[in-house]
Each structure stands twice: as C-alpha cells, then as structure tokens.
Amino acid sequence: MADWFTLAAVFLLLSIAVALVRCWRGPGPVERIMAAQLAGTGVIGVAVVLGAARRDAAMLDAALIGTLLAAVAVTAFARSAARPGDRPDGSG
C-alpha cells in the first residue's frame, strides 16, 4: 500500500514540476502567481500522501498550515495587482 502512496507522491511531484514551468514562462504576473499556487496545492497533496504512506498524522498539520498560508500569499498579491496589466481581463 505504501508503494502506491509513494508512486502517487512521485506523480504529484512531476505535476508540480509542470506547474513550475508555467510559473517560469509566465508571461504575466497573474500566470506566475496562479502557477505558484498550483505548485503549492501540489505540495500540500504530496504532504498528505506522505502522511498516509508513513501513517504520520502530523504531516497533515503541515498540509493544513500550507493551505492556510497559501491563501495569505495570493490575497497579498491580489491587493498589489491594482495596475491594469495585472488584472486577468485587463480592465484594471
């Protein structure tokens, strides 16, 4: 069973890598931050899967903290995105 969890963790890691490629290429600030958020979601998934594989409930706490603080980062970005170019629809 733990092997399947590890396999899932590897798959999730690879999906994080793809999200990071999007984050690198951009092109705009919104794409970068959304890709970073997607990578963060992947990291939370890996933490949950690792916790299941090793039967360690404390790893779920790490996933919870990641979830809470990812919301803070994206809120801080949305606050600073008052310039027209940063809005997805460009309406500013």
Report in angstroms how near the CB of residue 90 gets to other proteins at its nearest. Answer: 14
First and final C-alpha spacing in the chain: 50
Nearer to other proteins among residue 82 and residue 90 (C-beta): 82
C-alpha distance from residue 45 to each of 37, 81, 85 (Å)? 12, 28, 32
Q: How many residues bind other proteins (CB under 8 A)?
A: 49
Report in angstroms how near the CB of residue 7 gets to other proteins at its nearest. Answer: 6
With beta carbons less than 8 A apart as the criterion, state whether 29 and 85 touch: yes
- The CA distance from 86 to 53, in Å, is 40
Q: Rule CB under 8 A: is residue 52 a binding residue for other proteins?
A: no
At 91, phi and psi to the nearest 5?
A: -80, -20
Q: Rule CB under 8 A: is residue 18 a binding residue for other proteins?
A: no
3-state SS assignment for residue 34: helix
Residues in contact with other proteins by the rule CB under 8 A = 3, 6-7, 9-10, 13-14, 16-17, 20, 23-24, 26, 29, 32-33, 35-36, 39-40, 43, 46-47, 50-51, 54, 56-59, 61-62, 64-66, 68-73, 75-80, 82-83
